[in-house]
Every structure is written in C-alpha cells, then in structure tokens.
Structure 1
C-alpha cells in the first residue's frame, strides 16, 4: 500500500539515509543549503541522516525533486513509497489569476513561494490548498504530495521567509567585513527589516500570521523561537563589536538587542497596517527614522552622538 505524504518511512539499515547523502553530495552544496532547498529544518535533516529520526514520505518527495532522482530509488524500490508527482489534470486558472512557472529549484519551492504570496495577500486561514494549486497550475494532489497539509505549508512558508532573511543578513555581514563601523552595519541590518520592497512586505505579512499561530502550534512556536534567537544574536554581536570599537556606549548587548527587536516588530506592524498613501499612517521612512533615532539616543557613544 503506498505511503501517505505524512507517513514516516522505516530505514532500519540506513539505506535511505545513505542515498540521501549521495543526493546531497551530487548537488554540490552543504547539508544546510540542501535543507534550505527542500524547505526542511536543518536539524531534522541531520537527525534523519544519522538515524535518530525517520524521513516522511513528503520529505523524500522534496529530496527527490531537488536532486532530480526517482523517489522510488531513494526507497530502494520503484514500486513502494511515493512515486512520481501525480500527473492529474491541472485545474483551469481563474480569470486574471497569476500562474507562475516552476522555478529552476523545482516544484516544492514554487509551491512555497506561491503560498507566501497568497498568505501575504489573504491571510493563512483564507488560503485553500486549491488556491495554491491553481497558482502553481497543478493539482491539489501534487501539493499534498510535497506538503501533507496546511500546517506543513505554513511551516514551510515561514521557514522560507526565515531562510531568505537569514541569507540577506549573512550576505550583508560578509560584504561588510570585520573592520566596518558597527554603527553602519547595524543601520544596514535595520534597513533589511524595514518593509519597503514587495518581498519584504510579503515576508512581514506572513510573519503576522506566524505570531498568531506560534501561540497555538508547537512546530510554528519552535520556528518563532529559532528565528528570534538568530536575529537577536546577530544584533547583540554587532552591538558588542561596536562597544569594542568605541562606537557604542557600554550597554548590555543582549538586552539592547531585545529592546531593539521589540521596536522593529511594533513599527513594522504599524507600517503594514497603514493604508497606502495615508497621510497619518506610518511609512517605511518613518519606521527607519525611528529605528535610527533609537540607535542614536540609546547606543551611540557620546563622541559619536
């Protein structure tokens, strides 16, 4: 009997894990990067590869897609487990609906990106799997093949937003180098958190749904904790470096990062809630100016202020 997408697959001999390792090796990227490509928690991928956790059928489907291998090969059989993505007749797109072509990274990332867009436009609880299927020009069966249910889709959408944000921060830090003025680096990091571009707004709108779901879902709550831990650690490290450079005054880096994070979240929610073009609304420029004012009055040393 075929496995359902959410079923965990037995791998007593470790053969599946070994085949997945070969897929990652052939992909020529790190394990963490491969996890990003299949929209999977890197720690879950690691535990599955070491045998302390079993892969789900849906995870193996995404691995097969990313590695361009047959899912049956991952299982050691062409007749058991998940087969090729269901080739059911695609639903006809609604008039005026946007249909995107599958990206080079494969169907799973296309599904996730369209899920992010739809959540940003309508809110998670208003988005149906059928809407995502129509946006991807495929069937609901194909969506469920990669993501068993709506909860998994929200988790994947949040993780994708997290990964995009983390990648942007990492690129900014690498570009700056260790010798850059910490004040300028912090200003750049805050600019990345200001919802100006369409992608930044989409990510923030998904984040609003995350806040509500985090109080009800253990999986989403863990993502929430993980993201904020990473972000505050990044900010605290920049503040600590600024203190060493004499740019920032002697403050508690962790507590300052916590306060600054709360300010970012509150201002971003005001920007998103403001109507486009409303004179009395909070604009991205207002948000960024308020963040810089906080840095100037609370962090910069007297010599810099």
Structure 2
C-alpha cells in the first residue's frame, strides 16, 4: 500500500503524522493501529477506509476520473498533514488554547467532523502538531549541517546550527512561538511530554556529535561533549525566549534597543562558544 504512494516508509509516517517506529510495529502486527491512524492512512494512500478497518473484503477500485478529481482537490501532502500544518500556524498566532477545532476546519476549508475524523480530540491534535514540528526542525538541521559539512570544519557546523536557531526572520519567530507554547503544554500532557523529551534528546545529541567531531579535529578543547551540549542548548533556549519576549524591531526602528535582539542572542552564543569551547589556537 505504501509503495503505491511512491514515498519511503519514513515519509509516509510523516504524512500520516505517526511515529515511524509505531508505523513499523503496526505493519508487522506487533501493534494495533488506532481508528484515527487508519483514517489518516486511508486518506493519504487514497484507499477505502472501510477496507482498512476490515468492513470490506477487498479494496474497491475507484474509477480513474474519481482519482484524478481527488488528486486535484487534495491538499499538499494529504488532508491529515494539512490539518496539522494549519493547527501549527494557528497556535503560533493565537496560542494553543486560543485555537478552536472550528478555526482549524475553516483554515482547511473543511468541516469540524473531518478534523475529528483524523484527530478525535485536542490531545491527539496537539501530539500531532508537536511531532510535525519535530520532524520539520530535524530536517532543517540535517540540511544545514550537510551544507556546512562540505568544509569538514565542525566549528562551521556549530555556527550554522546557532544561526539556524536564532529568530532573525518572521518565520523563525513563528517557529519559536509554536515551540514555546507546545512546551508549556508538555507539562500537562504525558504523550506530548514524551515527545518533548525525545526532541531534546535528539537536539542535544546533534550538538554533541558536532562537538565530538570538533574535539577530534582539534578545533574544540577536550571536554565532555554531552555535558557541553546540555549547557549550550539550554543557553540557546533561554536566549530565544528573551528575544521573543522583546518587541520586534519595526522598519522605522521604533522599538530598537528594546529587550534582547537576535543579534544580541547570536553574539552571546558565539562568545560563549569562543570562550568555553574553542581550542586556544582557534579562538576569534
């Protein structure tokens, strides 16, 4: 079934907003799909939900014209992914508790019943939003490290990661706003809390790997890369929160100098790296 979509299993898991390991276990029979997961799979794979749920003996063949009409009307990545993307956008604008299912349905040009069909409750929708943010953030980091990796210099990779995490643009402020709101919810949701822990573990591991390579290259001083990654990522998150709390600078500069700016954040991070991590011969 996944083969007919023409994407990898990992990409299919992303489109149905599912943990790839859960998808693999469910496909192997070690875990049962939930009804909502089957609904999202049916929508994404363009198969009959009744067949997936076992109420039909075989998958009905849809006329080619119907398939073409559905393909033309389908949102990019499928309806489940559209619902999650719009949920994240609305959370960034209004905060999680300011977003109603009706708002999400309106943004997707669909009904509230359609939203509930794919995500039965707000908890499921919040978990899906967190997972989507994690996947998007991880993909951006991987691409940025790959670009920096052409030089083979771990210090360049670390500077790339710092620049990527600094909310210079409206898009990055939007992403950080979503993260901060979702992190607050993690304290109240066990499922989201587990994702929150997994995200931070992955993010710190990425930084620790870069530091470890830098130590081997001699550009960073010998230190515990895991402990150093914990301190650096905590500093990044704390400074990003200060930047978001500050009023954005307008084109006329009316808010200039108010609070911590993105430039302040990046300068502080680079100074921290230079003083505490860089080998003496490689300091600025």
Correspondent of 1:144 among 105, 108, 116:
116
Correspondent of 1:50 among 20, 24, 28:
28
Matched, 1:65 2:43: yes
Hey, what's the Cα distance between the residues in 2 that align with 1:199 and 1:151?
25
Q: How many Å apart are 1:168 and its aligned residue?
A: 0.8
- TM-score where L is the length of structure 2: 0.87
Correspondent of 1:261 among 227, 233, 251:
233
Hey, what's the Cα distance between the residues in 2 that align with 1:272 and 1:78?
52
Q: How many Å apart are 1:178 and its aligned residue?
A: 7.0
Correspondent of 1:205 among 164, 172, 177:
177
Q: Which has the higher helix share?
A: 2
Correspondent of 1:248 among 220, 227, 230:
220
- For each residue in 1:76-110, what CA deviation from the matched residue of structure 2 results, as whole angstroms up to 9, or x when unmatched? 4349xxxxxxxxxxxxxxxxxxxxx9632111111
Q: How many Å apart are 1:174 and its aligned residue?
A: 2.8
Alignment correspondent of 2:12:
34
How do residues 218-233 of structure 1 correspond to structure 2 at under 5 angstroms?
218-233=190-205
Hey, what's the Cα distance between the residues in 1 that align with 2:149 and 2:4?
31
Unpaired segments ≥5 residues, structure 1: 1-22, 80-100
Matched, 1:236 2:208: yes
Matched, 1:74 2:46: no
Does the CA contact (< 8 Å) of 1:102 and 1:110 recur in 2?
no
Instruction: Say which SS state the counterpart of residue 247 (structure 2) adopts.
Output: coil
**Which has the larger displacement, 195-204 or 292-301?**
195-204
Q: What is the alpha-carbon root mean square deviation over aligned residues? A: 1.9
- TM-score where L is the length of structure 1: 0.81
Q: How many Å apart are 1:210 and its aligned residue?
A: 2.2
Matched, 1:126 2:98: yes
Does the CA contact (< 8 Å) of 1:119 and 1:206 recur in 2?
yes
Distance change in 2, residues 1:73/1:198 (3 Å) = farther
Does the CA contact (< 8 Å) of 2:207 and 2:229 recur in 1?
yes
How do residues 94-109 of structure 1 correspond to structure 2 at under 5 angstroms?
103-109=75-81
Alignment correspondent of 1:285:
263
**Which has the larger displacement, 132-141 or 249-258?**
132-141
Instruction: Say which SS state the counterpart of residue 303 (structure 1) adopts.
Output: helix
Does the CA contact (< 8 Å) of 2:148 and 2:160 recur in 1?
no
Does the CA contact (< 8 Å) of 1:182 and 1:241 recur in 2?
yes
Matched, 1:174 2:152: no
Q: How many Å apart are 1:293 and its aligned residue?
A: 1.1
Alignment correspondent of 1:300:
278
Hey, what's the Cα distance between the residues in 1 that align with 2:223 and 2:113?
54
